[in-house]
Structure 1
Amino acid sequence: MVLTAVAARRARRVSVVDVTWGLALVAAAVVCAVVGPLVSDGDAWRGWLLAALVSVWGGRLAWHIGRRSRGHGEDPRYEKLLGAPVTTPEGFAVAVRKVFVVQGLAVWLVSLPLMAAAVTEVRWAWLVWLGVALWVVGLVFESVGDAQLATYRSTPRDQRPQVLDTGLWRYTRHPNYFGDACVWWGLWVAAALSSGWLPALLTVVAPVAMTYFLAFATGARLLEQTMLQRPGYPEYAARTSMFVPLPPRRG
C-alpha cells in the first residue's frame, strides 16, 4: 500500500488502489502457501490450491479494472471521499488515512482464512471442494457480469437502453459484487471451515467483512449514490434486487 500510495500520487488518482487490491491478496495467498509448511503441519496441497484460486481471481480483477480505468480520471467515489485532489497535501493525507491504511488492514483481515489454512490440517476434505464450487459460482457471476457490462458500454448510446437490465443484471444490480462475495465465502469454506469449527469461527469475520465492504461500505451502496442520479436507474432499482440475485419485482 505504500508503493500504491506513491503510484497514486504520480498517476494523480487514488483509484489505482483498485488494481492493487486483488494483487495484494494474491501476494498474501502465495506467502501463506510458501510459509505454512515451513512452520506447521498444514496441508501444503490445500495452500497451493488456495493460492491458485486467489491468483485467478485477483489476476482477473486487476487486469479488468486496469483495462477499464486506462485513460480515465479519478473515480467519482474517491473524489467524494477525499474532497481534494490526491496531488495536494490535504488530499494525499486523507487518501493515506481513509484509503491506503484501510485497504492494507482489509487485506490482512480478508486473508485470515488463508492464514488459518496455512497452519492447520484438513479435517473435512469434502468442504474444500464445496468451497471451490462456491468460488466457481462467484467467479462466473463476477466475470460474466463484467463482460455483460463491457458489452453494454461498447454499444453506441443511441442504440442501447438507458440501463443495463438484461442477463445477470436483470436479477441483481451488482452481479460482480455479489460474485466477489461468493468467491470469498467459498475460500473461507475451503480454507477455514474444512479445518474445523474453531478455525472457522475465528476467521468468519473475513467473509463477513468482505461482504459488508462490497454491499454497504465501499462497493454497491456507495456506487448507488451516483447511479441513482442517472435517467432510468431509479425505476430499475425499484424492481431489481441490489445485491442477492432475485426475480424482478412486478409493478
Structure 2
Amino acid sequence: MAVYVLDQYYLAITALVTTAYQLLGFTIAWTFQFDKITDFTGGSNFFLLALLTLLIGNEFHARNVVASVLVMVWATRIAGFLLLRVLKTGSDNRFDEIRSNFFKFLGFWLGQILWVWTVSLPLIILNSPAISDTTRSGSSPAFGTSRDISGIVLWTLGWLIETVSDAQKFKYKMAKDKPKDKPVLTGLWKWSRHPPYFGEIICWWGIWILCLSPTTNGTLSSSSKSAQYGAIVSPLLTLILLMFGSGVPTAEKPQAKKFFLMSYGNNAPEEHAHAWSNYKNYLRKTSILIPIPPVIYKPLPQFLKKTLLLDFPMYQFDERKDGSAAIEQARKDSV
C-alpha cells in the first residue's frame, strides 16, 4: 500500500527533499568555493526523487518501474558525465562571476531546486497515491499501449543523442591535435550545433508521455487526470530553459565571440585568420538544434531557419555591434 506523505501527490515531500539536498550542496560549494559538485548535485537529485517516490509509492506496476528506471538511468548518466567533465577541467567558468557572491550563487542553487522538482513532476505524480489508488480495487494500469511505446522510443532516442554527442565533444576537447580555428565537427555535431540539448528535450517529452497512466478497469479522478496532464510543465520547462535560458543563449554568442576574436582581436595570430569565416560557414550549414544533414540544411531559406528551425535572431552575433564590444573588452582585459 502506498504511503501518504503530506499530500496525495507527493508534491510537498519531494519539494522538501529537493530543497534540503540542494541547499546542502550549496553550503559545501560556497564554503569550499569550488564547482565539483554543482552539476552532480542537480543530476543526482533526479535519481533521488525517482527512487524515493517509487519506494514510498509502493506500486511496482510496469509503468511505474519502467518510468522510474528510465529517469534514474538518465540522472546517473548526466550526473556522472558532468562530474567527470568538471574533474578533468578543474572548474566551471559559468560560475566565475557569481561563485564569490553569496546571493548570486545562492540564486543559481534556488533555480536548480525549481528545475529538478518541476522537471520530475510527471514521475512524482505517477508514483503518488493519487494515481495508485485507482488501481487498488483490482484494476491494473494497461501497459504496452502505442502511447507507452511512443514515450519509450522518444526517451531512448533522446538519451542516445544526448549521451553520444556529449561523449563526442568531450573526446574532441581532450584531443591535443584538434584545430583551434574550427568548431566541433565530429559525429552528431555536424548535424546540430547543440545535439545534447535536443536529446534532453526529447527525453523529457518521452517521460511525460510514458507517465500518462491509463487503466483497464477504472478511471482516474478528474483531479488526478489534470495533475498528470498539468505535468506537461516538465518538458515545456526543459524546452524553455534550453532554448531561452541556460542552454543555447549561453553558448551561441560566447562561441561566436571566441572565433571572432581569433581573427580580429588584438594580437590575433596569423594562423587563426580564417577562424571567423570558418565559423560563419559552420553556421550556414549546421542546424542550431534539430539534427539535419548539412546538405539539406544549408540551402534552406533563411526565413525557415530563423522560424520553424529555431535559429532565432536573439542568437545572432552582430559583427558590428557585438564584435566591436568584444574587441574593446579584450583590449581592456589586456591592459
Task: State the TM-score, normalizing by the size of structure 2.
Answer: 0.65
8 Å contact 1:30–1:48 — kept in the other structure?
no
Question: Which secondary structure does the structure 2 equivalent of 1:218 belong to?
Answer: coil
Greater Cα shift, 116-125 or 57-66: 116-125
Q: Does residue 176 of the first structure (1) align with residue 186 of the second (2)?
A: no
Q: What's the counterpart of residue 223 of structure 1? A: 251
Q: What's the counterpart of residue 114 of structure 1? A: 123
Q: What's the counterpart of residue 30 of structure 1? A: 51
Q: What's the counterpart of residue 154 of structure 1? A: 174
Q: What's the counterpart of residue 105 of structure 2? A: 95
The structure with the largest helix share of the pair is 1
Q: Does residue 76 of the first structure (1) align with residue 86 of the second (2)?
A: no
Q: Does residue 246 of the first structure (1) align with residue 266 of the second (2)?
A: no
User: Once the two structures are superposed, what CA deviation does each residue of 1:147-170 show, in whole Å capped at 9, x if it has no partner?
Assistant: 211221232245576211232111
**How many equivalent pairs are there?**
239
- Give unpaired runs (5+ residues) of structure 1: none
Q: 1:226 to 1:124 in 2, by over 3 A?
A: same
What stretches of structure 1 move > 6 A for 4+ residues in a row? none
Q: Higher relative contact order at CA 8 Å, sep ≥6: structure 1 or structure 2? A: 1
Measured after TM superposition, the shift of residue 73 of structure 1 is 4.6
8 Å contact 2:35–2:86 — kept in the other structure?
no
Measured after TM superposition, the shift of residue 43 of structure 1 is 5.6
Q: Does residue 105 of the first structure (1) align with residue 153 of the second (2)?
A: no
Greater Cα shift, 179-188 or 165-174: 165-174
Question: How many Å separate the matches in 2 of 1:102 and 1:128?
Answer: 31
Give the structure with higher Rg (CA): 2
- Give unpaired runs (5+ residues) of structure 2: 1-21, 133-140, 260-277, 300-335
Of 136, 144, 147, 2:164 maps to: 144
| Correspondences of 1:175-194 after superposition (within 5 Å) | 175-192=195-212
| Correspondences of 1:116-135 after superposition (within 5 Å) | 116-119=125-128, 120=131, 122=141, 125-126=144-145, 127-135=147-155
Q: 1:204 to 1:161 in 2, by over 3 A?
A: same
Question: How many Å separate the matches in 2 of 1:108 and 1:7?
Answer: 21
User: Once the two structures are superposed, what CA deviation does each residue of 1:121-174 show, in whole Å capped at 9, x if it has no partner?
Assistant: 645642223211111101110111012112212322455762112321111111
Task: State the TM-score, normalizing by the size of structure 1.
Answer: 0.84
Q: Which amino acid aligns with 1:2?
A: L
8 Å contact 2:62–2:143 — kept in the other structure?
no
Q: What's the counterpart of residue 25 of structure 2? A: 4
Q: 1:226 to 1:34 in 2, by over 3 A?
A: same
Measured after TM superposition, the shift of residue 194 of structure 1 is 5.3
Of 34, 40, 46, 1:13 maps to: 34
Identity %: 27
Question: Which secondary structure does the structure 1 equivalent of 2:28 belong to?
Answer: helix
Measured after TM superposition, the shift of residue 3 of structure 1 is 1.3
RMSD over aligned CA atoms reads: 2.4
8 Å contact 2:284–2:298 — kept in the other structure?
no
